[in-house]
A and B are shown apart, each in its own frame.
Chain A
Amino acid sequence: MTNFETIIGPAYLVAAVLFILGLKRLSSPATARSGNRLAGIAMTIALAVTLLNPDILGAITGARLIPIGTIVIGTLIGGGIGVYFARTVKMTAMPQMVALFNGMGGATAALVSIAEFTRAIGETGDAGGAGQVVSIVLGTIIGAISFSGSIVAFLKLQELITDRPLRFGGQSWFNAALLLGSLAVGGIVLVGGSVPALWAVLGIALLLGVTGVLPIGGADMPVVISILNSCTGVAAALTGFVVHNQILVVAGALVGASGTLLTLLMSKAMNRPISNVLFSGFGALQTGGNGKGAGVVRIVKEASAEDVGVALAFARNVVIVPGYGLAVAQAQHTVRELADELEKHGVSVKYAIHPVAGRMPGHMNVLLAEANVPYDQLAEMEQINGEFDNTDVALVIGANDVVNPAARSDTSSPIYGMPILDVDHSRNVVVLKRSMNPGFAGIDNELFYRDNTRMLFGDAKASLTKLVAAVKTV
């Protein structure tokens, strides 16, 4: 039988490089899809050459049906299930789908670790060096936490169990005890080479995944999934140590690292510090029960100019809502520049002019005309209000009260009944504002706290200049 080591090694190296290039392309909207496909090619190469592994090849040439059947039928069943759900899941249910797939990966890592340990102990009575056994124990723990945690996250997002935080007294201590317990039993595995002890480690870690995620509310689940995703990456890398396979180590570590960074970026974008997400059980006991109402801290989401630039450039249509802040900052020329840049990207741009935008009626139209904004792009309130439902991004520049939904709904609000621009109907709202100070009428604006609203703080002109630069680089 030929030794295929000379093919397997270099092919894994090629796959590793393709994974990295794929990830790189995935971090820009224009190239993201090709990046995903590149990673898919890398995966195909890695899986294909694995069939040349001596054990597997021996099974194929020796026509040993069980290993062949395990691999072929298992891949067909698993792949079929995966592709079916991936194709049919609704776009809104995407986060829980990712959670489910992630859990499956975690379970795989744990099972591989346990199987390899059991085999080695059974065949030779020795599982290899300490590094090997530590990898096995940690791979089992992390994979199991990732599995059961992801399942809980899935159930919460799918609303099969309540998405409210479920808490009990001493929960954090209980979880800490579980973690220490799993490590302690892992120590027994290391010293005694005991297979039952490793199953016990699995059981404890599975429980920890459940009790770790239950206390976290549904709104924070995307961050949790991202954490568990990077956990599975690390578990996969540890599995690489267990089965002596470098491509597993590389791909797993890539996911572990990028997943961790992604978690930090996400929690920042959602304005939720990680510690808040994971341990919010400490302080939130009092307010935990009722979803809304007094005492709930309202959170605004801050966006960077780069993020907003990308969102604008990839929108079909953008409605700009200029307000007094734009006039104060003398930013009408810059906003025109931004609109021109967006049109170069094929985005349709309109301006929604509230009757009282600016300092006096019609003020804004004048300012924009001065900046040579084509007249047909200016839309009056009555014209444009019906169109917000089909607007991808509403860009609110230095306007506040004229976009405050309270005027429509809150009878106690001083501006109740004032006609407003219904920007809250559009898919995404970006608000350029100097600070969180309330507007002219001195009242809070709930638009700023909505889920689909992002804030870009700063002087309107400075922010717009940054946006122009950001759109140019897309």
Chain B
Amino acid sequence: MSQEVLLGAYVFILAIFVGFEVIARVPSILHTPLMSATNAIHGIVLLGAMLIAGAAKTPFMQAIAFVAVILGAANVFGGFVVTDRMLEMFKKKAAPPVEKPE
């Protein structure tokens, strides 16, 4: 295993522990907003799409990169906006979100 992959593995594993710890005590009314927020955060793959767009040489690769950028951008921007809308309801005196039957 190369040094770089190994270092990446360290980062990966430590981040997993942080991810567990940091939301360990979330109350159930925040489950849906938190899922939505983390959903927005993994939209960071847009960054990967940007990188392959920069490196793409052939039209086919450029097409793939274009689709990837569109999808990634929808994930990021849509994700954060929709989460913000949900959390707006937690403002004091506003109606709390009805626990969805789902």
In the complex, A255 has a CB within 8 A of chain B: yes
Closest to B26 in A: A27
Which A39-62 residues sit within 8 Å CB-CB of chain B?
39-40, 43, 46-47, 50-51, 53, 55-56, 58-59
Chain B residues whose CB sits within 8 angstroms of the CB of A55 once the complex forms: 51, 54-55
Say whether chain A's binding surface is mostly helix, strand, loop, or mixed: helix
For the complex, give the distance between the alpha carbons of A202 and B67 in Å.
16
Contacts of B43 in A (CB 8 A): 43, 101, 105, 108
- A82:B78 contact, CB within 8 angstroms: yes
- Chain B hits for A116, CB < 8 A: 52, 55
Nearest B residue to A242, CB-CB = B48
A126-165 CB mask vs B (1 if < 8 Å, else 0) is 0001111001000000000000000000000000000000
Give the complex CA separation of A265 and B38 in angstroms.
15
Interface residues of B in 69-86 (CB under 8 A from A): 69-86
Q: Quick check: B96 and A82 within 8 Å, CB to CB?
A: no
Q: How many A-B residue pairs have CB under 8 A?
A: 418
Contacts of A242 in B (CB 8 A): 48
The residues of A with any CB-CB pair to B shorter than 8 Å are: 16, 19-20, 22-24, 26-30, 32-33, 35-37, 39-40, 43, 46-47, 50-51, 53, 55-56, 58-59, 66-67, 70-71, 73-83, 85-87, 89, 91-92, 94-95, 97-98, 101-102, 104-105, 107-109, 111-112, 114-116, 118-119, 122-123, 129-132, 135, 219, 221-222, 225-226, 229-230, 232-233, 235-237, 239-262, 265-266, 269, 303-304, 306-307, 309-311, 314-316, 346, 392, 427-428, 451-452, 454
Q: Chain B residues with Cβ under 8 A from A119's Cβ? A: 52, 55-57, 61
Decide if A115 touches B54 in the complex (CB within 8 Å): no
Q: 8 Å CB contacts to A: which residues of B42-66? A: 42-58, 61-62, 64-66
Chain B 4-21 per-residue mask, 1 if CB under 8 angstroms from chain A, else 0: 110010011101111110
